[in-house]
């Protein structure tokens, strides 16, 4: 299994990268696990899936609207409120004459955003010892992510589950800074970084190579 992954990722010297001097750094969402997207969830809402509909009804009743009032645009659920009669409540936030449900940040701290299935790369995660997770998920939901890892049969990483401070604006930069910190603390000679987000990879890699110009760092988009 390992050799297959290294061939896919175009890492030339497989044997060199399986020694004890390599740290494997994994993102969480859509890297180790299949994470529900905000857009997918919102579309389910609008299709009136029974279970989701019940959840949504509980939310919209609190602000005084019904399912028929909901609209969809640019990946967001909202209701029109030009007279500003509705009040912000729970996951509903105001922007101009609209009330939006689930800002992206709020969505990623909610239980319904938690994954239920593993991605193929999780097999690599299971097979290596020297590993950590660096995720842009907020520190405030550490217990949820920890429990979800265990529920899905993934052991907690030897070198830590690293989560972004609440309010982090530039996740890619934060990941780069965190990776540098981990490398300096652990003393590894090489690291392989797996992430699904090309922008995060680019920014994190830039930070790592600026601060550790001689370090052997291999970013891999999955």
Distance CA 67, CA 46 (A): 8
pLDDT digit string, tens, across residues 66-101: 777 888 776 677 888 888 887 766 567 778 888 877
Supply the pTM of this predicted model: 0.72
pLDDT digit string, tens, across residues 149-158: 999 999 999 9
Strands 76-80 vs 71-73: parallel, antiparallel or unpaired = antiparallel
Q: What are phi and psi of 200, to 5 degrees?
A: -65, -40
The average pLDDT across 106-111 equals 71
**SS3 call for 55:** helix
User: Where do the structural domains in the chain lie, given as residue ranges?
Assistant: 2-35+115-221, 38-107
Distance CA 140, CA 49 (A): 29
Q: Classify domain 2-35+115-221 by CATH architecture.
A: 3-Layer(aba) Sandwich (3.40)
- Could you give the residue ranges of the DSSP H alpha helices within the chain? 2-8, 38-46, 50-63, 104-107, 122-127, 142-151, 171-186, 198-211
pLDDT digit string, tens, across residues 29-74: 999 999 887 666 666 555 544 445 555 565 666 677 777 788 877 6
pLDDT at residue 113 in the model: 80
């Amino acid at each position: 299994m390992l050799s297959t992954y290294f061939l896919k990722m175009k890492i030339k010297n497989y044997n060199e990268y399986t020694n004890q001097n390599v740290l494997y750094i994994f993102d969480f969402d859509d890297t180790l696990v299949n994470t529900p997207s905000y857009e997918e969830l919102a579309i389910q809402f609008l299709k009136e899936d029974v279970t989701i509909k019940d959840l949504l009804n509980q939310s919209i009743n609190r602000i005084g609207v019904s399912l028929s009032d909901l609209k969809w645009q640019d990946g967001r659920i909202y209701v029109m409120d030009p007279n500003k009669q509705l009040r912000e409540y729970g996951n509903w936030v105001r922007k101009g004459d609209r009330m939006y449900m689930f800002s992206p940040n709020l969505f990623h701290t909610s239980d319904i955003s938690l994954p239920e299935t593993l991605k193929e790369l999780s097999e690599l995660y299971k097979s290596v010892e020297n590993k950590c997770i660096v995720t842009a998920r907020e520190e405030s939901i550490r217990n949820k992510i920890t429990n979800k890892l265990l529920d899905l049969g993934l052991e907690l990483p030897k070198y830590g589950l690293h989560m972004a401070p609440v309010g982090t604006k530039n996740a890619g930069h934060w990941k780069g800074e965190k990776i540098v910190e981990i490398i300096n603390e652990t003393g590894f000679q090489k690291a392989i970084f797996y992430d699904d987000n090309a922008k995060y990879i680019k920014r994190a890699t830039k930070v790592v190579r600026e601060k550790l110009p001689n370090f052997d760092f291999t970013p891999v988009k999955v």
